[in-house]
A and B are shown apart, each in its own frame.
Chain A
Amino acid sequence: MQRFPVLVVSTCLAAVTGIGARSGPATITNVSSHGVGPVTISSANGEYSADIGAWPAVAAYGCSFLYVDINVREGGTLTGTYNVRQSPYSDSFLDIYLLEPGVTWDPGTTWNESGTERCFRWDFPPGVVRVTWPVDAWGSPGWVTEDYDLEVALDAYRHQTVRVVFRQWSWGEVYNESIQSRIRHLKIGGPASFTSTPERLDLSTGDTHRTITTVATPETTAFTPSFSVGSQANPNSSCAATLAFSGNGGTGSVATTVTANPAGCSAILDGVRAQVGSTPSTTSTRIVVPPQVMIKMVVGEAGGQPGDVDQQSILSSARNRFGDSAFPGGTASTWQAVLIPSQYYGASNGTEDGPDQELRNSAQVFTGEVADIVAGCKCYWSPTNTQWTSIQAALKSGTKKFPTGTGAPGCWQAQARQIVVKASVGLNISGGTNYSTAPAFVFLRLLPRNNDPAVIEIP
């Protein structure tokens, strides 16, 4: 076996900066070579490139190495590209691995068919981490592979030094062009970054399937996110929910299951942010857990109504009772005190989780994103077709006399009242044929001013 002098040209080119510094991003501290073939290293604009190979011999075997030493400091990513080329009469492989801090494994520079020398071996000892599998150009167009992207996440080695090794194994003869691995644009990118989605997550205390997905860049980053909460509110609720996160990890993307407890309680949590080590995600999530009784009420009263407005309207009406001592729970001004079975049929519904539509609409009313959309009405009902005819007639005539036969609830029965028809509320699909041509809900309030009509319509 013929050995070739190692051409080491890297040392003088390597940027030796920041060794020992503990803050800031990772830095390439040295680029060097080792082995049987020539390695040409160049540097420009903070990036390193190298050609490995130029194999001069026939029927010879051996390995050439490019070493990239890195002070990881606060973390980052080694990026660049690589390809492999060869002649049709020879072969060449390139693989890449990382020596963890303190590891100095060296497989040697020679290889023989008897197996006594194996510079190209894959039985990596502990501390040697594979970055890529061996790549060759056999059968590639023009006997050259495409340029592959390289991303080596370094965040796991914060405040330590590592070595990334490019190892080329070659045999054969020169044919026209030298056998080479061409490595380009090696540089350090910033520490891994993370984003989390969705931007908004509505959650019932009975839900166990809703997740926040955290995605890392580079996608080779292995991580286990924890979560922090920016701010928390819980308006008009007697019981505050807290969140629990599943705490699982993964590589590239992690779906974390979010649950809320205790059952029935509520919260609005803004700025819920994934955190990996000291790195927060660049995006955050708003998590809204409405009181479960809101969901129950909507499912029980308006479940199946296709229009979001239908569901939001009745919750909005219930909220209008806050602060009004004339209504049960009004003084307490909490959803739990107001939405009670004696006042709302749906409040006794057995739903314990969050059907998507009912959960979403409950959450939007709970946060106030959907404000008062029923003109201050505090009562409502579902008229029959016949009752609806009476209401329509009164609306059309503009009468100031409260119509009879409307089925209106007894709210303010001793005072002047006004029926409010909300035009955007859909037809009742839940009451059978005697209700099918009437809106799902019609609303009621105190007459705002003397001489106002008994029935009005709002959008």
Chain B
Amino acid sequence: MVFRIALAASITLSFVAPSQAASGSAQSEQDVAARIAVLTQRLQFRQGDPRDERRYYAELDALTQSLRQEIDRYINITVKPDANSAEVQASLRRLLADHSPHPDYGDLPFTRMADLREGRALLAAYTIVRPPHHDIASIRGYRAGAQGLQLVATEGGDFEGYGMHKKEISSPLAGELWLFAWGQAHTFNGTKVRFRIYSFDGEQFRTVWSPDDMFNARVTFRDNGFSIDHHVRQAPYDLHDEYVITADGPVKTTSR
């Protein structure tokens, strides 16, 4: 605990004003990793310590933003445009090893390198773990350029207050990457699940599908679509919905 306080005091300024000391290109992967570790340390508070709790909530948004910026910087510095998705994903998972959400409510970082309509691009989706139940998901799009992979678009605001799982689904449109995301509301009294499908073309995200939240929902993927079993508050109470993926988004084919 003493260590944490000392460490926190030493980086008070660094998370709000990062990389003052070195140029972006000169920063090493290790430097960014260290900064992320420090920021992660501050994303904690001592249970039963109202002062520390107030500090935590006061800093929460700024710390989150700083973490995202550091990850953007990390990708810019370390990920080459010709890297493959698996390598990038493994690298990001190492970097965010302390940000592994509870598996019931989220999953590990996801990345996908692809040649999209607007060029070579990277989609990264990850969760920043924020106790006690404020985990927040980010979906970020980068495009390769002369200065490396640069952030061009963000998405995932719909999942504030929700966990997030994600899975790439086969895009019916050439030059686009489609991401299926779903997650449970954190402190909702029950199991309320939000579903979204986002597309990314290397320049911007588009929300392809945004149904109403569903209760006790479970998704199963198939080659050309998916099904969702979920609870409704009136008879027949439990529904099984089948969807196929089309260029216009998912189309429900059956509900029983």
Contact = CB atoms under 8 A, between A and B. Distances in A.
A238 B118 CA distance: 52
A415 B129 CA distance: 12
Give chain A's interface secondary structure class.
loop
Given A407-B216, A432-B236, A314 B189 contact: yes
B82 interface: no
Contacts of A414: 101-102, 129-133, 135
A401 B131 CA distance: 20
Nearest to B163: A410
A97 to B, nearest CB: 67
A413 B192 CA distance: 15
A412 B132 contact: yes
B105 A413 contact: yes
A198 B191 CA distance: 42
Given A414-B135, A432-B238, A345 B216 contact: no
Interface in B81-136: 101-102, 104-105, 129-135
Contacts of A411: 132-133, 186-187
A434 B191 CA distance: 15
B188 A343 contact: yes
Interface residues of B, number: 34
Interface in A204-233: none
Contacts of B101: 413-414
A344 B135 contact: no
Interface in A364-384: 379-382, 384
B64 to A, nearest CB: 15
B190 A410 contact: no
B104 A413 contact: yes
B163 A345 contact: no
B231 to A, nearest CB: 7
Nearest to A318: B189
Nearest to B57: A325
Interface in A419-459: 430-435, 446
B189 A344 contact: yes
B190 A382 contact: yes
A431 B235 CA distance: 8
B3 interface: no
A25 to B, nearest CB: 61
A234 to B, nearest CB: 25
Given A325-B57, A384-B216, A434-B237, A409 B188 contact: yes
A80 to B, nearest CB: 67
A326 interface: yes
Contact of B132 (A314, A404, A415): A415
A432 B215 CA distance: 14
A410 B159 CA distance: 14
Contacts of A342: 161, 185, 188
A381 B190 contact: yes
B53 interface: yes
Interface residues on A, range: 20 to 34
A327 interface: yes
Interface of B (DSSP majority class)? loop
Contacts of B130: 414
A328 interface: yes
B184 interface: yes
A411 B185 CA distance: 9
Given A431-B231, A432-B236, A434-B238, A413 B135 contact: yes
Contact of A345 (B105, B131, B192): B192
A40 to B, nearest CB: 82
Contacts of A345: 188-190, 192, 215, 233
A434 B235 CA distance: 12
A384 B216 CA distance: 9
A413 B133 contact: yes
Contacts of B237: 431-435
Nearest to B56: A325
B236 A326 contact: no
Interface in B128-158: 129-135
Interface in B172-217: 184-192, 215-216
Contacts of B186: 409-411, 413
B191 A381 contact: yes
A19 B187 CA distance: 76
A407 B191 CA distance: 7
A409 B105 CA distance: 9
A327 B236 CA distance: 33
A431 B105 CA distance: 23
A343 to B, nearest CB: 6
A382 B189 CA distance: 8
Interface in A312-331: 314, 317, 325-328
Among A384, A409, A415, the one with the most B-chain Cβ atoms within 10 Å of its Cβ is A409
Nearest to B215: A345
Nearest to A345: B190
Nearest to A433: B237
Nearest to A406: B104
Given A325-B57, A326-B132, A414-B133, 13 more contacts: A326-B187, A327-B187, A343-B187, A345-B188, A380-B189, A381-B191, A382-B190, A408-B104, A409-B186, A409-B191, A413-B135, A432-B237, A434-B231
Interface of A: 301, 314, 317, 325-328, 342-345, 379-382, 384, 404, 407-415, 430-435, 446
Going nearest first, the 9 A-B pairs with the smallest beta carbon separation are: A432-B237, A410-B186, A414-B131, A413-B102, A412-B132, A410-B105, A381-B190, A413-B133, A380-B189
21 contacts: A301-B189, A317-B189, A342-B185, A343-B187, A345-B215, A381-B189, A407-B191, A409-B185, A409-B187, A409-B189, A410-B104, A410-B133, A410-B188, A413-B101, A413-B163, A414-B102, A414-B130, A415-B132, A432-B231, A432-B238, A446-B132
Interface of B: 47, 53-54, 57, 101-102, 104-105, 129-135, 161, 163, 184-192, 215-216, 231, 233, 235-238
